[in-house]
Amino acid sequence: MLNIIIFGPPGSGKGTQSARIVEKYNLLHLSTGDILRDEMEKETAVGLEAKKYIDKGHLVPDEVVLKVLYHKASDYASGHGFVFDGFPRTIVQAEILDKMLEKRKMPINIVISIEVKEDELFKRMMGRAEDSGRSDDNEETIRKRIEVYKQQTFPLIDYYRNQGKLVDINGMDSVDKVFSNISRAIDFFIMKKEILP
Ligand code: AP5
Ligand code: MG
């Protein structure tokens, strides 16, 4: 069992890298952003509630996110581990996730933190805005998302660094190079676990 968090600011490549990680290590991808967008598309009560926040670049309230996450995670009752993408995003979410996983004796093993400069984040998301169809890919909302990240999500870096789980990855490199550095960190963790059970 391997549980990974892929952490980073909006547009840093979390989704791009998660897709590759789940394929290589046979894990399940849990992106709260993707789940919420799916709910928005289906116009469910959760989706309509989430839209109010997502369209403004604000975080969706913890209780709404946790509800959809529990629901989705229990759909995936299998022996595979998870790649959590875009979750947790607040200290409250991180503490709840730790408790939830502790109960199941399957803690978070590695937190991959992808670092990308702000002007590059902006460039990437504005480039994607052309065809992403995402209601939050526009200049004003992108600026807000980056600001919200700095205020509410960035502090999680210390939370996980203090747990000894954080691995810093330079996200300014090419997609292939970033993936090869992430793979190296994961392989190192797996090897260490095998040597020191
Ligand atoms: P979410 O869907 O999680 O979006 P985000 O964090 O803003 O990040 P993105 O999905 O935009 O970017 P990414 O890091 O996945 O990068 P990507 O691979 O796409 O959240 C959206 C909203 O939902 C939030 O604002 C919030 O309202 C709500 N929400 C979600 N989770 C929540 C939670 N837990 N709590 C509360 N609210 C929550 O790459 C970006 C672009 O760059 C792509 O075009 C890609 O092709 C390109 N790219 C990727 N890597 C590279 C590279 N190395 N070089 C060049 N280009 C690259
Ligand atoms: Mg994403």
The preferred substitution site among 6, 20, 30, 32 for testing ligand 1, maximizing ligand atoms within 8 Å of CB, is: 32
pLDDT level of residue 21 (50, 70, 90 thresholds): very high
Most confident of 65-69, 80-84, 104-108, 153-157: 153-157
Q: What percent of the chain has pLDDT over 70?
A: 96
Q: pLDDT at residue 182 above 80?
A: yes
The preferred substitution site among 34, 37, 124 for testing ligand 1, maximizing ligand atoms within 8 Å of CB, is: 124
On whether the CB atoms of residues 134 and 127 are closer than 8 A, the answer is no
- For β-strands 82-85 and 166-170, DSSP reports them as unpaired
**Alpha-carbon span 68 to 176, nearest angstrom:** 32
Q: pLDDT at residue 196 above 90?
A: no
Q: How far is the CA of 13 from the centre of ligand 1 (A)?
A: 6
**Alpha-carbon span 57 to 135, nearest angstrom:** 10
Mean pLDDT in residue range 138-152: 97
Q: Coil, strand or helix: which one is 60?
A: coil
pLDDT of residue 138: 95
pTM score, whole prediction = 0.96
Per-residue pLDDT tens digits for 100-136? 888 888 899 999 999 999 999 999 999 999 898 999 9
Q: pLDDT at residue 197 above 60?
A: no
Mean pLDDT in residue range 146-162: 97
Q: pLDDT at residue 195 above 90?
A: no
Give counts: helices (H), strands (E), the chain.
Answer: 9, 5
